[in-house]
């Protein structure tokens, strides 16, 4: 079937004022970046955006950029997320996310190539390696 149909619809979660307050109290890096990721996973998207507006120190820019793309993905902005990951330098997390995005946006050829590179950089003992291999298999039957 159409893998794009499997992408989750962006649904805002019920209010979580205590979580949002905790996140707003985060200062500096990596604390505010972690808080933004927690808010993203809790579907408190607008509050996560606010935290990501804080400029990151140089050593956190790549992780910050990945989190911005992940937030776009979770908000249902798949094409925007894919474009953000495409702009980033190659790293295992970025390759994994690019491949996953390509797969769920219908580009099986790119997904297979990029996910193969990501899987090669992941230890076989991790769930991420096995998820990459599953995605590669899914891409292989599609193109």
Residues 6+ positions from 85 with CB-CB distance below 8 Å: 66, 69, 94, 97, 98, 101
- Please give the pLDDT value at position 134: 97
pLDDT in tens, 67-89: 999 999 999 999 999 999 999 99
pLDDT in tens, 1-46: 667 666 666 666 788 999 999 999 998 899 999 999 999 999 999 9
Burial of 132 (0-12, 13-18, 19+ CB in 10 A): buried
Residues 6+ positions from 132 with CB-CB distance below 8 Å: 96, 99, 115, 118, 119, 122
For the record, the structure tokens of 22 come out as 């905790």
Residues 6+ positions from 6 with CB-CB distance below 8 Å: 104
Give this prediction's pTM: 0.89
């Amino acid at each position: 079937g159409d893998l794009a149909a499997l992408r989750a619809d962006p649904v805002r979660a019920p209010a979580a004022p205590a979580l949002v307050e905790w996140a707003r109290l985060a200062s500096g890096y990596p604390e505010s970046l972690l808080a933004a990721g927690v808010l993203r996973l809790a579907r408190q998207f607008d509050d996560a955006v606010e935290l990501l507006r804080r400029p990151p120190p140089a050593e956190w820019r790549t992780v910050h950029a990945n989190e911005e793309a992940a937030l776009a993905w979770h908000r249902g902005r798949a094409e925007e997320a894919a474009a953000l990951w495409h702009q980033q330098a190659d790293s295992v997390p970025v390759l994994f996310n690019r491949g996953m995005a390509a797969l769920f946006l219908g580009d099986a050829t790119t997904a297979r190539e990029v996910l193969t590179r990501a899987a090669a950089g992941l230890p076989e003992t991790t769930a991420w390696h096995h998820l990459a291999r599953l995605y590669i298999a899914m891409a292989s039957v599609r193109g």
